Structure formats: C-alpha cells, structure tokens
Amino acid sequence: MNVLIHKLMKNLRIIVLTIAAVMIIPASCKPKEPTDLAMSGIIPRPVTVTATGEAFTLNSRTTVFVDAGSDEILKIGYYLVDQLNSSTGLEIAVQEAQEEPGKGSILLTLSGADHNLGEEGYVLTVTRQQVNLSAAKPAGLFRGIQTIRQIMEKDTSSEKTGSFVIPSGTITDHPEYSYRGMMLDVSRHFFGVEDVKKVIEYLSLYKINTLHLHLSDDQGWRIEIKTWPNLTAHGGSTQVGGGEGGFYTQEQYSDIVKFAADRYITIVPEIDMPGHTNAALASYPELNCDGKAPELYTGTEVGFSSLCTKKEITYKFIDDVVREISALTPGPFFHVGGDESHATKVEDYIPFINRVQDIVEKYGKQVIGWDEIALASLKPNSVAQCWASEENALKAIAQGAKILMSPAKKAYIDMQYDKSTPLGLHWAAYIEVDDSYNWDPATYIPGVTKENIIGVEAPMWTETLTKLDDIEYMMFPRLPGIAEIGWTPASLRNWDEYKFRLAKHGKIFEAMDINYYRSPRVPWEE
Ligand code: NGO
C-alpha cells in the first residue's frame, strides 16, 4: 500500500513539475512587466480577475501557513506544498499559523472569507509580499489551489534559473452550478483503478467536482456485490469485442471514492436498469421473466435487455445492490439509469422506476436517472439527466424535479470531433471543440431555466474506447470547456476569447503526457 502511495505521489510530482515548467509565456505575447495575472489563461475563467502587474516569488524562505487546529486544512496545505516543491525544487514547509504570517508567506485560511463564496468559492490575493487564499469552506481552498497551479510561471524576468513567480492581483471566484461532472462508462470497456485515478487528477485541475461511474450495462457488471457474487464472477468477465473485462472489488471502489474525496470530487455510482442489464441477466437466470440466462454480450447494440419488472426477486436484487453500493458511497446521489428501456413496456417501466426510487430513498440517497425517468412519478429531489428528450426534461420540471444537462449534441464527449476522428461515435453529432463550448445550459431547452438546473455533465461512453489514451483524446480539449460552462457565468463566456486561453493549455497537456486532439480551431501556442 505504501509503495502504491509513494508511486502515486511520484506521478503527481512529475505532473506538477511539468505543468509549472511549461507555463512559460512565449516571447510573442510577453506579459507586462513582470507578469500579468489577466493573461494567465485560467480555465475555467474566474468571475473577477484584477491584475496589479507585479509578482510573488517563491524562494527558500517561502512558507505555507494554514489555520491552526484543523486536520482538513492542514492536509490541503500539504497538497499545496507538494505541488509547489515538486515544481520549484524548493523545500517549502507547511505550518499552522500561530500569528499573522509575514512577508514571503502563502496563507490558506477559512477566516474572514465572505460566506457568499459558498461551498467552492475562493478569493486569491497575490502581492509581491504574500499570497492569501481564503474561502468559506475547505473545498474552496482546494479549487483556489488549482488556480495557483495554472498561474504559476517560470520566472523569465530574472537571470536566476529555476525560480518561479505567481502574478499579482486579486481573483474572486465561485461556480455558477453546484454540479460539474464527467461520466465514465467502465462497462463497455473496463478501466482499472489507476486509469480512473488519472481521470480524477485531470478533472481536479479544471475544478470539476463529480465523477459519475457507469458501473453496469449489457456488456459488463463492474462492481463487486457481496450478496450476488456471480454479477462480477460471470457478468464482469468480458466487454465489448470480447476482451477479458474486469471489475472493482468493494475495497477498490472505496479507494476510488477516497481518492476522489481527497480532491473534493464526489463519485456518483450508476447501476443502469431496467434495460442495459444483459450482464446481470446472464449471471442470474432468476432475474429473467422466462428464468433462462442469456449469453454474455460483447456487441454494441442497445435496448434489447430488461430485468423482469414483475418478479419480486428483481426488487430484492435491486435492494441488495443499492444497499451495498450506497454504504460505500458518501455522496448524495445514486444513479439508476433508466435509459432506452425499449424491451420494457411503458406500463411496466413506470411502476418499476417508482419502486426503485423508494429503494434508493430508503438507503438515504437521491435519485438521478437518464431523462426517460420523467415518465414515472418523480420525487421532488430526483434529478433527470437530460441527454436526448426535451419533452422529458419539461415533464421532469413540471413534477418539481431538477435537471442535469448532458445534451448529446453538445456534451457527449464520446462523439467524434469530425468525420476523420479515428475514435468515437457520431449518432448525435460531430462535436468540434467550439461546438462543445458554444452552448448555455440555461437556454438550451426552451422552458428549462437556470433555476431548474443543478449543473452539467460530459458523458464518456466507451463502445470504441479501449485504453486511457483513447479517453484522453476524447476528453481533451473538450472537457476544460465543459468545466467552464459549469463554472463561469454565461456572460463571461465567449469562444473567441476562450480559444486563446485554451491554446495555452496545449503545453500543459503535452507536459502531462495527455494524448489530446490538436483541433485546427484552436490557435495552439508553440
Ligand atoms: C446513449 C445510450 C448509451 C450509449 C451512448 C453512446 C444514453 C443515455 N444511452 O446515451 O447506452 O452508450 O448513447 O453515445
């Protein structure tokens, strides 16, 4: 275990070091002397940035101070110094602040912060003497650190090599939507714990706060359920194309949950039902209406499987699954799928979803489901994830439920960028980087307004994606844009300005060894 932690820390160090090393602003657009916070290319764009044209220099006397008496803030302090030290080669220490920190200090504090900043907002004030990061909540400090990661530059103004600066000024920032997510389908192709952690690392840099894991589908069941062991023993044994598949033990799932929580990212588990269930049906004959288990499935068709909604054992099965997964999941949501249940009659689908909502509620979770669940009687705290049907979205809000926006034509990051993209699908659209950026959740569906929406999520379906490299190629550079749609007010979003900020991130992707799509629509910096 320690070896693993050590390895992870090492990887993290390399990433941080390389990010900082590449944030050198090229000669062609050299900032005002010595640095310019407003030019630093932060994604998502902060709500307000005021540059003051100086810089804070990191040196061997720099110390990170945190509020005394909180283990959580101290841990965030360690996260920051880890990043700083690996980028600069310095040995900056973290200390609990006993008195007013002086010159050369970086202060992380929850005191004095404006409570309007909410759960994730922060204020970053950088002067020549000090860096002060304040927030109302620890998550805000963590988000603010991501801003520091993005704005720290190699010092090109002095002769000294290996010195780093943070441009001076003030950033006041908080997210527009409380839910900013990505979904990863680990069912069509299985991705192991290390791959998922990489994805979580990438998400944290862009202030994404949710990772939805699509844990079951026709092609594979990917999480251990102790009371139904054949789900993984048999149902997890293959994937699209017939490869060996895989699954997370409960311990591994908990490890992912913790890794995410340490980055203030919530895991939303999804068990898709009543359709998209061939892997479960193949594992337990009794879940089928005819009592016969079908073969495992390794193709990519949808809409042919259904749990037997009329059998009591089906609800016992769901109860066990929801209970076991909920016990391992600290986040508030349980995603029940509910999409494309073409093999379930609508008169069976509706009572099924109603009953499943009760089970999820019984285990203390809030339901999310794909927009079809709006056909049922939604609980007021249920969330319909809008991917295809505007009518379903309107049905959901008419029942008082909330909407999570994932319109397939804009937010599906499994779609090809254009006809020549070697990976991905195109049933919804070809989605170039500007297409995925140029939309507003609050006006996308007439009648669905900002008040109805909890946020945005970019689903990554993996019918055609077999390895982390593939995921990276479809994520980057679209994911940072979706992150900005969720974080930054619509009035501050504009592709013609955004593309220049995004252009600076090409070097970050390269330094992090991310396999990204070098879209011709982005003026990449050399
Ligand atoms: C649809 C379908 C998924 C596919 C995906 C591919 C939803 C909610 N159900 O989205 O099963 O994998 O498209 O883009």
Sign of CA dihedral 20, 24, 29, 31: positive
> pLDDT value at position 161?
61
> pLDDT value at position 162?
65
Find the helix or strand (DSSP H, E) in which 511 lies. helix 495-511
Q: Strand 179-185 vs strand 453-460: parallel, antiparallel, or unpaired?
A: parallel
Nearest ligand 1 atom to the CA of 340 is 9
Q: What is the pLDDT of residues 22-76, one digit of tens each?
A: 443 333 344 444 467 877 899 999 999 999 999 999 988 899 999 999 999 999 9
Question: 429 CB less than 6 Å from ligand 1?
Answer: no
Q: Give the residue, out of 305, 340, 416, 474, with the most ligand 1 atoms within 8 A of its beta carbon, to mutate for a pocket test.
A: 340
Q: Which of 72, 119, 286, 340 is catalytic?
A: 340
State the distance from the centre of ligand 1 to the C-alpha of 250, rounded, in angstroms. Answer: 26
Q: Can you state the angle between helices 138-151 and 2-22, rounded to 10 degrees?
A: 50
CA distances from 157 to 25, 126, 147, 165, 512 (A): 11, 18, 22, 10, 25
> pLDDT value at position 160?
61
In contact, 94 and 145? CB cutoff 8 Å: no
In DSSP notation, 294-312 reads PPP--S---S-----TT-H
Question: 387 CB less than 6 Å from ligand 1?
Answer: yes
Question: 14 CB less than 6 Å from ligand 1?
Answer: no
Q: What are the tokens at 6? A: 């050590």
Task: Look up the pTM and report it.
Answer: 0.94
Q: What is the DSSP letter of 36?
A: -
- Counting as low any pLDDT under 50, the low residues of the chain are 1-18, 20-34
> pLDDT value at position 163?
77
> pLDDT value at position 23?
43
244 is catalytic: no
Question: 457 CB less than 6 Å from ligand 1?
Answer: no
Nearest ligand 1 atom to the CA of 217 is 11
Least Cα distance to 371 among 351, 347, 329, 399 occurs for: 399
> pLDDT value at position 8?
44
State the distance from the centre of ligand 1 to the C-alpha of 254, rounded, in angstroms. Answer: 26
Nearest ligand 1 atom to the CA of 414 is 14
State the distance from the centre of ligand 1 to the C-alpha of 240, rounded, in angstroms. Answer: 14
Q: Give the residue, out of 184, 215, 461, with the most ligand 1 atoms within 8 A of its beta carbon, to mutate for a pocket test.
A: 461
Nearest ligand 1 atom to the CA of 415 is 14
Q: What is the pLDDT of residues 438-451, one digit of tens each?
A: 999 999 999 999 99
Q: What are the tokens at 156? A: 């090109």
Nearest ligand 1 atom to the CA of 385 is 8
> pLDDT value at position 159?
60
> pLDDT value at position 24?
36
Which residues contact residue 112 at a Cβ distance below 8 angstroms, ignoring those fewer than 6 apart? 134
Nearest ligand 1 atom to the CA of 463 is 12
Question: 339 CB less than 6 Å from ligand 1?
Answer: yes
Question: 414 CB less than 6 Å from ligand 1?
Answer: yes
Question: 272 CB less than 6 Å from ligand 1?
Answer: no
Q: Whose C-alpha lies nearest to ligand 1, atom 6?
A: 461
Question: 372 CB less than 6 Å from ligand 1?
Answer: no
Question: 460 CB less than 6 Å from ligand 1?
Answer: no
Question: 412 CB less than 6 Å from ligand 1?
Answer: yes
Q: Strand 153-154 vs strand 164-173: parallel, antiparallel, or unpaired?
A: antiparallel
Q: Whose C-alpha lies nearest to ligand 1, atom 5?
A: 461
Alpha-carbon distance of 110 to 144, in angstroms, equals: 12
Sign of CA dihedral 43, 45, 49, 51: positive
Question: 262 CB less than 6 Å from ligand 1?
Answer: no
